[in-house]
Structure 1
Amino acid sequence: MKNMTFRKSLTAAAVAASLGFPALAVAQDNQNDTDTAAEEVERIQVTGSRIKRTDLETASPVEMVSSEEVKASGFTRVEDLMATLPQLETATQNSFVANGAAGVANLDLRGLGANRTLVLVNGRRLQPGGVYSQAADVNQIPTALIERVEVLTGGGSSTYGSDAVAGVVNFVMKKDIEGFEVTLGTSGYQHDNSNSYMQGLMDEAGYDYPEGGSGIDGKTYTVDVTGGSMFAGGKGSASFYATFRTNEELLQAERDYSSCALNGAGTSCGGSATAPVPNFFISPIEGGSPNFDEEVFWSLTEDGSFAPFSDNVYNYAPINHFMRPNDRYTFGSFVNYEANDHFRPYLETSYMHDRTAGQIAQSGVFFQNFAFDVDSDVFSDTQRQQFRDQFGADTDQIMAYIGKRNVEGGPRINNLEHNSYRIVTGATGELSAMWEYDVSFQYGSTQSSSVYINDFYVPRMPQVLGAAGADECGEDCIPYEVFKYQGVTAEAADALGGTAILTGLTTQRIINAFVTGETGFSMPSSNYNVAAVFGVENREVDFERVADEVYQLGALSGQGGPTDSLIGGYNVSEVFTEINVPLVEDASWANNLQVDLGYRYSDYSSSGGEPAYKLGLDWQVNDDYKIRGTYNRAVRAPNVAELFATQGLGLWAGVDPCAGDSPEYTQEQCANTGVSSGQYGNVSANPAGQYNAIFGGNPDLQPELADTMTFGIVGNPTDNFNFSIDYWNIEMEDRIGTISPELIIRQCAETGEAQWCDAITRSPSGDVWRGTDGYISATSVNLAESTNTGIDTNINYNTEIGGGQLAVSLTGTYYMTKETTTVPGLAGTTIDCAGVISSDCFPQAEWRHSMNFTYSTGDWWSVGAKWRYLGSVDYDGETDELIGDGLGSTSYIDLNANFDVTENVSVLLGMNNALDKEPTIVGDVNSLNGNTIAGYHDALGRYVFGSVTFRF
């Protein structure tokens, strides 16, 4: 039988990949040329399969980003680079997250969640990492070492196992490095602060803001060192890398459009009722209990008396990080040695140290409740008289919910640190002329910590406030005088500052062994052998997060509730196979037709066994066109946090439809949710739009299941033009998640059914946000369904112009459906986020593309440009009160130029968002940070960069 080879050489395929061109398989060699072809053609392993082949275009669509494109982008953070791909959505964790920052960077294919995107390095799993994160942290990947990025935009569970529901991102790193290279780089942001809309709102509010050019800020400095050489007479190769990156912080005060916190609609500068001059919800205590029916909302005045609350809010925006500071070190090595054809050992090592800090506005007394004796010394005579005038002459005690911002004590800071290392060792070699083996052991570990400083320590509050029943504030106690105008000193604020510490450890151990080759068997209609892979894998993942007592007690004022320790893990044993079956070749209707089959059975210690499988059709119609299609059953097992996280109090953003002076629902409907007739119309809404819920894991969770399909055509009609168009469909069931607490309230109000109403616990005052007495129970469940469909397009063209070569490539995605049903069978719980933005929908442009232009004369210089385009996105639902009509279409122009100054020195210069396009401003209900959707839009303006490379 003939060996299964193609004319396409690896060199041609690699060139095509570097230009962003798909490589097409053409007719097979004649029998007499087989031996020669086998010697000339090298096979490679493409993401999505362990069967080595000579064709980069497989039945499954794989998008590639070359090292040249990585370099030309100027980005030093992997998440910034990947965010330019239309297939990826900005993940919830990136460098532009301050409040709630985990210090990691995640990738999110198709917007299905970072935990449904599998990240590989050289075809092997990258371990998860972080005290809060169960997804892979791509901070571990140095951009300078990326050879190419392969993005499989379809299910890959049969090949790689759990998590590859949305697809796979594989970072192929440079290994065979010859010589020594040092690159010094710097970058930063520049913006013209001239947003008349935002400046007008801040003028009305009396807030300060920057004007004119910002200069270069948010600066980054990088040093990348790589080197390598052959040894043992060419039998071995060793390479290493070491990188350093540091970037400065950038505050929201540095941009006019982020210098005030907009209200929910984005129509005015809002703020927090936890203000420097305190606000109070005050009610009399009668018979040992507060009488909330008589509650008032007062503010402290300059003369020390109380007055009804009126716009006494704090602009907390300026002191928040818009971009966090960060220091990162990485180093690693790759060693390969060929002892003989049967034994080729290899070793990969990598290490990362990453440190960042998320700074947000000052802590304070966030409407915690305390009882006070009216005759206490903390009150003035004027205040005592106001209490008795308001509540009755015999009032002895009052309950006060205090809102006081700690401007005297400085911002809250979460110091986040990660130390990750990864070792892969193994060997490959020939078993026979037609079969090879690969056996590997992989161990990855991430140690992480979160040290939260300068948040108020709640257990100290009763004493320093002078609350009823608390110990007297004696010699070593500094009173925190909130009832005295500007009575709080810096010393009193510092004495209340607390620190909480989390430490985390993630370990991932993988043993993998497989054989790959040709069976010696062929179909009657083909002269080519069936190729196959047979393998086994055992994977163990352990995670522990240890919370100190401060975190476990929820003893810090601004944390929203306790953070518990989390310890758990699981083990999975798997068997897998892939089979490539050539069916027909050299027919009038097909140069080549083959079928790809895959199957994996996974036995989880946590949830039992579950199969994953695939079927792919690869039809090379002729030399110019290919038709391809795949079906995958993908599986995602619940991760450690979803299984074992302790159930505890947290915050959710939204509205309580039974709160406020004019509740959305009737008195009878709100009674279903626990609101009494006396409370109706008197339940306070949270000015910050945040409410309590009980969140946590569920050890009875089962794996998520997904059916993914792709169908497309690849064409190469001329030597200098090719394209691919692929339709994709991902349907999921048993999605792991929580039911929206707001949905629970609404369903309870509308139906009165126990399954909803039993999940609601209101505080004595009827709310679900002040203190910890009111909350919604919303733990993890297998329930939701989703359907995501779209079309991916890749177009490539090159031509000679003016003695040089112009290469043009376009990668685009048309998102047709992004539909999620939270509660299958329940009307009104299905939303389609394609082309819309809302509190439930991260913006998803229906059409998004990235178009590259590269011109080179083959001489000492080359230039490039990129056009990034995001289609318009509409608001979903009632929009009369929201700023604008949605997100308008946005275009960004990126420019770069590379100069080979000498044979050993080259210079790269460029700017992204060259026209300084401002991000679309959105209200608080849709904002991720700084009144923007940071990461979706370019958040900080023009990005300029430059680097110089020395080769030795």
Structure 2
Amino acid sequence: MLNSKIAKSVRLALAFGAASTAGISANAIAAEEGADDVERIEVTGSRIKRTDLETATPVQVTSAEDIAMSGFTRVEDIMNNLPQIEASQTAFQSNGATGTATLDLRGMGAQRTLVLINGRRAQAGGIYTQSADINQIPAALIKRVEVMTGGGSTTYGADAVAGVVNFVMNDDFEGFQVDIGGSAYQHDNDNEYIQGLMDERDFEYPSGSDGFDGAAFDFSATLGGTFDGGKGHAVGYVTYTKQNELRQGARDYSSCALNAAGTACGGSGNAVIPNFYVSLPTETGGVDFGEDMYEYWTLTPDSGFTDSVGNVYNYAPINHFMRPDERHTFGLFANYEINEHFNPYVETMFMRDRTTAQIAESGTFFDTSYVMDFDSPLISDAQREALAERFGIGSGDQFATYIGKRNVEGGPRSDKLEHNSFRMVLGTRGELSDLWTYDVTAQYGSTSSSSAYINDFFGPRITTALSANGESCADSDGCIPYEVFTYEGVTSEAAGALTGTAILNGVTEQIILGGFVSGEFDYTLPSSDYPIAAVFGAEYREENFERTADEVYAQGLLLGQGGTTKSLEGSYDVTEFYTEVSLPIVEGKTGFENFTLDLAYRWSDYSTSGSEPTYKAAINWDVTSDWKIRASYNRAVRAANNGELFAQQSSGLWPGVDPCAGANPELTAAQCANTGVSASQYGSVGKSPADQYNGFFGGNPDLKPEIADTITLGLVAEPIEGLNFSLDYWDIELEDAIGNIDPEIIVRQCGITGDPVLCDDVQRTAGSGSLWIGDGQVVATDINLGQLHWEGIDLSANYDFEVAGGTLSTNLIGSYFMTKEFDNLPGITESYDCVGTLNNGCFAQPEWRHVFTMNYDTGSFWRATLKWRYYGEVSDYTGDDTLVQDGISSQSYLDLKGSFTINDYTNVLVGVNNIMDKEPPLVGGSLSTNGNAIAGFYDTLGRYFHANVTFKF
């Protein structure tokens, strides 16, 4: 029997558990020496229950203790500290925020990271994302987080291309526990570089320390125990979190918006004192951007026109650097053993989250060409004189203008985002025989979410208030003339009358019916005494998505939105059958302490794209009791989600640069001609002061599934007592990648190659050649792209030893990135590697990143933890004359924590992260995700102080 031959597996689990799991609960090894039974557990990556935690697929585990010692209460912050994860949607985003928190393994995109809760997938996060929102997961109830990097489609189905993050909840908790915590940031503002740039512009900024800010309060209560003589067990929890806002004006390094190069404080031409593009009207009523056909003017204090030179608005200070957030969660986990064959269970989770994403005031944004009467009462005599002199017009004539006026009189824009998620699992498990068990579940997950975008300029009202384009303010009830042509002439009352609100509501639904049987056959291979183990299962999954936009969103009537936001409705379902087989080949031989072959296969039939198989082959080779070799091959598949398939195509904004803009364009005249720039326009196409350009985005119902092949090869060992490590090489190649080409890459590659496939998607405004004024845009809808190739090595090591009467435990988790290659359009565009490269097409992925932890346990009432988080340099920036032309230097952050046991019921944790108050490395406006930084990846706000009190009874 297997149970009489598992001592070596158990010993390996004990020896290597910390190396790849960083702290596993004691129920993983439940038997004492000589006992007949050892409890088996289901480890992420397989549904076969095992006694050995080390599987053929690498799994990195973060324990509940690690989570508590981190000091973070946002699960996103906890996970983003792992070297294998890049920052995705976080609390440090405002413009374009979804209000959710998502995970991005390996930087392959959140849509390629599958999130599980107790081994079952989580539902889509809301109206703006198809990825799971991990805000719904209470940090206080997490037992451990298992991160499996590499394909997991054979076990869990689609989306597990980069890997799986499985949150294992503490559903066997006993007792009553209350956690109360608080945190805040502190920073000394002394960045001489950016302060000097702001001094040149006479911008205001903070200096020195202004105390604590960005404070948060957290509360959680957990109650659990058995009932009915131990047959049943239930755990209930409730949490509350309140996070205060922090604006960019609270830090000197984010108090101005750097230009694309990062060499000067930029800003928006949509200014406090308005700017105007003025010309005679074209046949279509637009501004004529032909050579010497227009003027770029602003206002003088006496309401005359003058050339606009450097009249830009510093929109940064009022933007959120960290959004305010208020969140409630509660839930219940329960099971009851009626008999050995029937053990029903239930899991329920509910979350309500409200956050506000605030950005700078709205404005006219040069969005519409207004045709104005020369005799308009809004125009001053001085302005009429300038118009007559420059364009030769007079009474009865008209002129055309684009207006850039910031609505400082009306206050900032904000997007009020609310998410309500509900998840329920009903199931039963039990024994079918002495060797086989079953598990059958019905799962329902739903997220209702909404966006209320307030205080943004309502386009039609601007036209009416200007009496432009044939509209009349005098004939419209309640209309207040928009005195934009008068110096400081706009009142708060007039500004308030011009704003509107857009409403977006949506619901995601996920329905899953599934079950599997798991066990062992009563026979073995001739070379082994271990029986063959297997899993056979089936699953039906339905994903529904509905998003309803009001007319304001759908028609893009708010000028600060950058385009339309359309309604979306779509659904698909998939029927799947899968199997896993574990074949023990040989054990107990010299050089083959244990050798096992694992095989898996899944057949998936999608209602949208047909059937696709996935499969896996893996080996576990215990060379000795202290040395293990593991290897695996996975075929993974990701079918397009509802957003990628059914999103209506609409306009939006993309951050970056136009390489054909400015007086000295990056591309040559011939190359820019490929992108639609005429010879007369070359050198005079205007740059966007805000580094934002128009794009056209949307879904595609004809998308094919992505296909990925993942290879891993690893070594796990305990070479000496107290030291254990795992070293794993991984390689992921993906074909038919679903996505849109970065609009800037489209423009650049069109210019360089002249390929019509790309150049047809660059549509410049007639006359000006602009991609940000008027109807200029880059078309970048979803398509099946070419290939992605990711490759790297993960290291995890632990060493424990006695010192000064206590135990010093050390742990290193590191990841070395070797390849991060994009080949978007093979044969048309050149492939490029993003490892160690920082540009508009590449995230700041260093080659090496690690977390090194030292924990000293005195064996008494206190212990201390010191953590070193390291980000390697990103040094291969390809631009010239920029803030980061030499890349980003290596970054190190030190965290110090102390834990104190006051009595049997009370524990106190205090700590500070980023002790040295390191600022995030600054980058230019086109590279920044928020506040001139790669926010949420590098430490963003300075020192982070936190304290927590735990009462447990």
Please classify the TM superposition score into its range, dividing by the shorter chain length.
over 0.9
2:712 aligned residue: 710
In terms of mean alpha carbon deviation, does 796-805 or 682-691 score higher? 682-691
Distance, in Å, in 2 between the alignment partners of 1:533 and 1:611 is 17
Structure-2 change in CA distance of 1:519 and 1:23 (3 Å): farther
What is the 5 A alignment of 1:458-607? Answer: 458-473=459-474, 476-607=478-609
1:222 aligned residue: 218
Distance, in Å, in 1 between the alignment partners of 2:97 and 2:556 is 18
**Residue 183 of structure 1: SS of its match in structure 2?**
strand
**Residue 390 of structure 2: SS of its match in structure 1?**
helix
Distance, in Å, in 1 between the alignment partners of 2:785 and 2:226 is 55
- 1:86 matches 2:47: no
In terms of mean alpha carbon deviation, does 480-489 or 189-198 score higher? 189-198
What is the 5 A alignment of 1:233-248? Answer: 233-248=229-244
CA contact (8 A) 1:23 1:55 kept: no
Q: Deviations over 1:441-463 (max 9, x none)?
A: 11000000010000000011111
1:179 aligned residue: 175
Distance, in Å, in 1 between the alignment partners of 2:32 and 2:480 is 88
**Residue 318 of structure 2: SS of its match in structure 1?**
coil
Q: Deviations over 1:272-329 (max 9, x none)?
A: 1100000011111266654322011111111211111111011101000010000001
**Residue 200 of structure 2: SS of its match in structure 1?**
helix
Deviation at 1:644, TM superposition (A): 0.4
**Residue 497 of structure 2: SS of its match in structure 1?**
helix
Distance, in Å, in 2 between the alignment partners of 1:751 and 1:172 is 50
Structure-2 change in CA distance of 1:657 and 1:948 (3 Å): closer
Structure-2 change in CA distance of 1:468 and 1:124 (3 Å): closer
Deviation at 1:663, TM superposition (A): 4.1
> Out of 603, 616, 619, which is 2:618 matched to?
616
> Out of 40, 49, 52, which is 1:55 matched to?
52
Q: Deviations over 1:307-354 (max 9, x none)?
A: 111110111010000100000011111101111111111111110000
2:949 aligned residue: 948
Deviation at 1:878, TM superposition (A): 2.3
Distance, in Å, in 1 between the alignment partners of 2:470 and 2:393 is 22
**Residue 384 of structure 1: SS of its match in structure 2?**
helix
Deviation at 1:732, TM superposition (A): 0.6
Distance, in Å, in 1 between the alignment partners of 2:357 and 2:46 is 40
1:272 aligned residue: 268
CA contact (8 A) 1:655 1:742 kept: yes
CA contact (8 A) 1:674 1:766 kept: no
Deviation at 1:925, TM superposition (A): 1.8
Distance, in Å, in 2 between the alignment partners of 1:583 and 1:938 is 48
Distance, in Å, in 2 between the alignment partners of 1:19 and 1:816 is 22
Distance, in Å, in 1 between the alignment partners of 2:532 and 2:833 is 43
What is the 5 A alignment of 1:605-684? Answer: 605-684=607-686
2:388 aligned residue: 388
In terms of mean alpha carbon deviation, does 356-365 or 832-841 score higher? 832-841
What is the 5 A alignment of 1:286-435? Answer: 289=285, 290-293=287-290, 294-368=293-367, 369-393=369-393, 396-435=397-436
**Residue 132 of structure 2: SS of its match in structure 1?**
coil
Deviation at 1:660, TM superposition (A): 3.3
- 1:196 matches 2:198: no
Distance, in Å, in 2 between the alignment partners of 1:896 and 1:136 is 31
| Paired residue type of 1:89 | E
Distance, in Å, in 2 between the alignment partners of 1:649 and 1:873 is 33
Distance, in Å, in 2 between the alignment partners of 1:363 and 1:64 is 45
CA contact (8 A) 2:260 2:656 kept: no
CA contact (8 A) 1:676 1:766 kept: no
Distance, in Å, in 1 between the alignment partners of 2:569 and 2:284 is 41
- 1:821 matches 2:823: yes
**Residue 481 of structure 2: SS of its match in structure 1?**
coil
Deviation at 1:21, TM superposition (A): 5.9
Structure-2 change in CA distance of 1:466 and 1:706 (3 Å): same
**Residue 366 of structure 1: SS of its match in structure 2?**
coil
In terms of mean alpha carbon deviation, does 418-427 or 656-665 score higher? 656-665
**Residue 201 of structure 1: SS of its match in structure 2?**
helix
| Paired residue type of 2:485 | F
Distance, in Å, in 2 between the alignment partners of 1:184 and 1:11 is 38
| Paired residue type of 1:603 | D
| Paired residue type of 2:51 | T
TM-score by length of 2: 0.96
Please list every run of 5 or more consecutive structure 1 residues that lacks an aligned counterpart in the other structure: none
CA contact (8 A) 1:5 1:54 kept: no
Deviation at 1:414, TM superposition (A): 0.3
| Paired residue type of 1:328 | R
Deviation at 1:529, TM superposition (A): 0.8
In terms of mean alpha carbon deviation, does 745-754 or 124-133 score higher? 745-754
What is the 5 A alignment of 1:62-81? Answer: 62-81=59-78
Deviation at 1:594, TM superposition (A): 0.3
In terms of mean alpha carbon deviation, does 812-821 or 801-810 score higher? 801-810
Please list every run of 5 or more consecutive structure 2 residues that lacks an aligned counterpart in the other structure: none
Distance, in Å, in 2 between the alignment partners of 1:324 and 1:372 is 40
**Residue 630 of structure 2: SS of its match in structure 1?**
strand
CA contact (8 A) 2:15 2:724 kept: no
Distance, in Å, in 1 between the alignment partners of 2:931 and 2:394 is 49
| Paired residue type of 1:233 | G
Q: Deviations over 1:852-898 (max 9, x none)?
A: 11111332221111111111111421233334622111111111111
Distance, in Å, in 1 between the alignment partners of 2:663 and 2:9 is 74
Structure-2 change in CA distance of 1:775 and 1:22 (3 Å): closer
Q: Deviations over 1:888-919 (max 9, x none)?
A: 11111111111110111111111111121111
Deviation at 1:676, TM superposition (A): 4.2
**Residue 522 of structure 2: SS of its match in structure 1?**
coil
**Residue 460 of structure 1: SS of its match in structure 2?**
helix
CA contact (8 A) 1:177 1:229 kept: yes
| Paired residue type of 1:255 | R
| Paired residue type of 2:520 | E
**Residue 743 of structure 1: SS of its match in structure 2?**
helix
1:733 aligned residue: 735
Deviation at 1:680, TM superposition (A): 4.1
Distance, in Å, in 1 between the alignment partners of 2:483 and 2:490 is 5
**Residue 709 of structure 2: SS of its match in structure 1?**
strand
1:929 aligned residue: 930
1:149 aligned residue: 145
Structure-2 change in CA distance of 1:579 and 1:381 (3 Å): same
1:802 aligned residue: 804
Structure-2 change in CA distance of 1:642 and 1:305 (3 Å): same
CA contact (8 A) 2:150 2:163 kept: yes
2:101 aligned residue: 105
Distance, in Å, in 1 between the alignment partners of 2:431 and 2:10 is 20
Structure-2 change in CA distance of 1:424 and 1:14 (3 Å): farther
| Paired residue type of 1:319 | I
TM-score by length of 1: 0.96
CA contact (8 A) 1:13 1:23 kept: no
Distance, in Å, in 2 between the alignment partners of 1:178 and 1:303 is 75
Deviation at 1:776, TM superposition (A): 2.2
Structure-2 change in CA distance of 1:839 and 1:665 (3 Å): closer
Distance, in Å, in 2 between the alignment partners of 1:307 and 1:53 is 78
Distance, in Å, in 2 between the alignment partners of 1:892 and 1:113 is 25
Distance, in Å, in 2 between the alignment partners of 1:36 and 1:861 is 32
1:161 aligned residue: 157
Structure-2 change in CA distance of 1:521 and 1:258 (3 Å): same
Deviation at 1:667, TM superposition (A): 4.8
